[in-house]
Amino acid sequence: MDITEIAKAAKNASIQLAAAKSDIKDSALAAVAAALKDRAGDIVEANEKDLAQAEKDNLAQPLLKRLNFDHTKITEACAGLQSLINLPDPVGQTLDATELDTGLELYKVSCPIGVIGVIFESRPDALVQISALCLKSGNAVLLKGGSEAAHTNRILADIITDSTVSSGITAGWLGLLETRADVAEMLDMAEFIDLIVPRGSNEFVRYIMDNTNIPVLGHADGICHVYVDAEADLEMALNIVADSKCQYCAVCNAAETLLVHRDIAKEFLPRAKDALEARGVQLRGCKQTAKIIHVVPANEEDWRSEYLDYILSIKIVGSVDEAVEHINIFGSHHTDAIVTANKTTAARFLALVDSANVFVNCSTRFSDGFRFGLGAEVGISTNKIHARGPVGLEGLLIYKWYLIGTGQVVADYTGHDAKKFTHKKIQRSNVPN
């Protein structure tokens, strides 16, 4: 099948999958888990082929680690499937219900979006996780994994397809794309694909965003800030800055820039320098910073840089408003934190920082679906519509309006003898059968 056929099949399957009963979807997820265990040997064998090739190709160690899909990873994937089975069906929930008039009832009901295109790098566990999330939420999915995981992705996609279709899910709901050319075609298929979820490096996500008219859920950059206010507890600030920068520096919610109020800069910066340099962090600073501690000079490019490394840029500011302005101009609207004991200052920061996640007195590293308690995480979004910040299953859902009447026509509700709408809230939570 060529990619257009795969996409068309996914669109067709999505209609049936949207109407699939909860127990069918859950037993399909259970069948996937059973099949992954049954065929663990074959999966590991396929993965070893990919790993061997990757070693031959001198893939970097972190990438090799992400590519690995061994028995432990299979067990983890099965546990993930089980926790998804345990969740209530997010589809078919009545979000709102209104009587427009006697015998004319309006229901706003959650439903899947349709066909989700997911593009991810290396990690084969992402394939299992995202297709399971799509199935639970009633969406068809087109998947494109990293070419270095081709053998692993192929066997996983086959296993998931076979076990779900045997469980009664419409064939075609999952399509595997394998080449870069496939991706380029996919980005052009607004007719069949309703949402793209890219997972990978910022360059990769930016490429996707810049090359499609299909809505994209995700974030390109994670340029996160910690602002240490004049009224900060400096010990707390040191901890938060160190954690935000160093706890895992290669991820989107790690801090890249430290903003320091000038009133505490002389006291705070030398302590921060000691603590951060002890952890191997290189400091770059504005001119004011350089007057207090020895740093590499920072320029405007630093304010726009996502280092994803043990590097931190530092700028001294005169007020919370100046910090907010810097963040809104140079940040990526992802996650920004203030450290302050002053509640008014904190409230101002919360209200004025235009980011998905705005934190007070805690590490930027908390912005994460698991830590937020969302259950499964679809991704972290810096979009201004639909879903923002860490996105759980609800990011894969939208709603439809059902209006159930008994013969009503609009003509009766217009003109001088017009019937009136009652617009009464209905408490009943289900669409009547």
Which residues in 195-214 contact its own copies (CB under 8 A)? 195, 210, 213
Q: Which is nearer to its own copies, 129 or 367 (CB)?
A: 367
81 or 324: CB nearest its own copies:
324
Binding of its own copies by 163 (CB under 8 A): no
Q: Of 210 and 267, which has the nearer Cβ to its own copies?
A: 210
Residue 117 contacts its own copies per CB under 8 A: no
Bridge partners of 104, per DSSP, are: 101
- Considering only residues 276 to 335 of the shown chain, the ones binding its own copies according to CB under 8 A are 324, 328
Report the amino acid identity of residue 337: A
When the beta carbons of 153 and 382 are compared against its own copies, the nearer one is: 382
Scan residues 218-237 and list those touching its own copies (CB under 8 A). 233, 236
Beta partners for residue 99, in sequence order: 105, 424
Closest CB 48 distance from its own copies, rounded Å: 29
Exactly one of 68, 152, 257, 367 binds its own copies (CB under 8 A); that residue is: 367
The residue whose two tokens read 């209200």 is 351
354 binds its own copies (CB under 8 A): yes
Q: Which residues contact 396 (CB under 8 A, 6 or more apart)?
A: 112, 113, 116, 133, 134, 137, 139, 195, 378
Nearest to 194 by CA among 18, 69, 313: 18
Beta carbon nearer to its own copies, 30 or 209 = 209
Q: How far is CA 276 from CA 30, 35, 281, 303, in A?
A: 47, 48, 5, 19
Binding piece for its own copies, criterion CB under 8 A, among 77-85, 240-248, 282-290, 308-316? 240-248
Residues 6+ apart with CB under 8 A from 181: none
Question: Per CB under 8 A, which of residues 389..408 are in contact with its own copies?
Answer: 389-390, 398-408
Cβ(123)–Cβ(156) below 8 Å: no
Q: How far is CA 53 from CA 109, 131, 148, 154, 270, in A?
A: 48, 26, 8, 16, 48
Q: How far apart are CA 173 and CA 139, in angstroms?
A: 8
CB 55, min distance to its own copies, A: 29
Q: Which of 129, 167, 363, 382 binds its own copies (CB under 8 A)?
A: 363
6-65 residues in contact with its own copies (CB under 8 A) are 14-16, 18-19
Select from 213, 202, 214, 144 the least CA-distant residue to 175. Answer: 144
Q: Which helix (H) or strand (E) holds 90?
A: none
Please identify, among the stretches 74-82, 117-125, 287-295, 367-375, the one whose residues bind its own copies according to the rule CB under 8 A.
367-375
Task: For residue 20, give both structure tokens.
Answer: 């699939």
Nearer of residues 273 and 388 to its own copies, judged by Cβ: 388
Q: How far is the CB of 191 from its own copies (least distance, A)?
A: 11
Task: Show the site string, 178-197: x = touches its own copies by CB under 8 A, - = not.
Answer: ----------------xx--
How many C-beta atoms surround the C-beta of residue 348 within 10 A? 17
Residue of the chain from 158, 362, 419, 426 that contacts its own copies (CB under 8 A)? 362
In degrees rounded to 5, what are phi and psi of residue 164? -75, -40
Q: How far is CA 353 from the centre of its chain?
A: 20
CB of 239 to its own copies, least distance (A): 5
When binding is defined by CB under 8 A, the residue of 291, 347, 428, 430 that contacts its own copies is 347
Which residues are CB-contacts of 409 (< 8 A; sequence separation ≥ 6)? none
Nearer to its own copies, 236 or 290 (CB): 236
Shortest CB 370 distance to its own copies, Å:
8
In the window 414-433, what residues touch its own copies (CB under 8 A)?
414, 421, 423, 431, 433
- Tell me the site size for its own copies, rule CB under 8 A: 78
- Give dist(CA 31, CA 161) in Å, integer: 10
